[in-house]
Amino acid sequence: MANNYGYGGGNTTYANYGANGGADGGGFVAGGYGGSQGGSQDSPSGTKTYGKDTLRPVTIKQIIDATQPHPEADFKIDGSEVTQLTFIGQIQSISAQATNTTFKLDDGTGLIEVKQWVDSDADPENARPQPKEGDYIHVWGRLKAFNNKRHVGAHVIRPITDYNEISMHLLEATAVHLYFTRGPLEGGAVKQEGGNGMFVGESGGMPATTGGKQLPNMSKDAKRVYELLLSAPQNNEGLHVHNIAAQLGMPNATVFKAGDELLGHGIIYTTVDDETWAVLEY
């Protein structure tokens, strides 16, 4: 199982990032706005696609130009199926409804609506501040179409605090686009793992390593949760928060905070619900 940003024609084998049975939203908003530490929001037509999901960095123009062979099929970008997308945009307008908040985002290549579903079980006292017009946000979600109009159902929304992240994302999206349209690069810009390519820089990646994988700097609690998820016997659904707390002897609130951190780094993902996590392998 490997996160390959969609390389390899959509043959990635990790479970649905964000879970919710393919729903638009709910779940953790890692390091970001809104959301909660629990509760899933299944859409009426949500279907699970475990075993074939991909996560691909894109521009909004690529989202707009994505093709869909038929209404029930996955969208395709550069001829390759995509299920989960990640992109960055500036908020042009916000529309708040009882069940969801819609953000209209612009990244300089186009405009797209992003819907974030409201978690009715969220504790208002622990709610994060909502983004406002003019803010840049990083979105992880799934492309959907309703009445011939496209939007992205957000699994994760995170504020941009370092504007270098915008340039980095556009470079990643460009690299993946070139991979599909021109083939892999020579000289190590694309690293092959298990037959699927993963975009990594020649100069290396994230500083720390655990279990043979390069990882970002993280808190002690987050590292403990990650190591348990990596090593504990489990099925494809991962481990529930209460199970993690019991095995590590940690308060649930501490585990939620650690999970929030790990989700923000993109190294774990939610599976069958928002409180069940598994490692997103590199």
Q: Are residues 29 and 96 in the same domain?
A: yes
Asked if residue 113 lies in contact with residue 104, where contact means CB atoms within 8 angstroms, the answer is yes
Last residue of a domain, one of 131, 164, 197: 164
- DSSP-based three-state secondary structure for 49: coil
Say what the pLDDT of residue 130 is. Answer: 83
Confirm whether 225 is domain-assigned.
yes
Say what the pLDDT of residue 91 is. Answer: 95
Residue ranges in the chain modelled with pLDDT below 50: 1-50, 188-212, 282
Q: How far is CA 41 from CA 13, 19, 51, 76, in A?
A: 24, 10, 21, 25
Q: Are residues 160 and 217 in the same domain?
A: no
Q: Are residues 118 and 43 in the same domain?
A: yes
Say what the pLDDT of residue 90 is. Answer: 95
Asked if residue 131 lies in contact with residue 91, where contact means CB atoms within 8 angstroms, the answer is yes
Strand segments (E) across the chain: 25-26, 40-41, 55-57, 75-77, 80-82, 84-96, 100-106, 111-117, 136-146, 149-159, 190-193, 196-199, 208-210, 213-215, 239-240, 268-270, 276-279
Q: Are residues 139 and 25 in the same domain?
A: yes
Say what the pLDDT of residue 70 is. Answer: 84
Say what the pLDDT of residue 118 is. Answer: 83
Q: Are residues 36 and 157 in the same domain?
A: yes
Q: Which of 214, 270, 265 is nearest to 14 (CA)?
A: 270
Say what the pLDDT of residue 36 is. Answer: 34
Q: How far is CA 22 from CA 145, 205, 236, 251, 269, in A?
A: 13, 30, 16, 30, 13
Range of the domain at 125: 20-164
Kindly report the CATH number assigned to the domain that includes residue 282. 1.10.10.10
- How many domains is the chain partitioned into structurally? 2
Q: Give the count of beta carbons closer than 10 Å to the beta carbon of residue 272.
A: 19
Q: Are residues 229 and 155 in the same domain?
A: no
Kindly report the CATH number assigned to the domain that includes residue 89. 2.40.50.140
Q: Which of 52, 56, 14 is nearest to 176 (CA)?
A: 56
Q: Are residues 135 and 26 in the same domain?
A: yes
Q: Are residues 145 and 231 in the same domain?
A: no
Q: Are residues 25 and 158 in the same domain?
A: yes
Q: Are residues 28 and 151 in the same domain?
A: yes
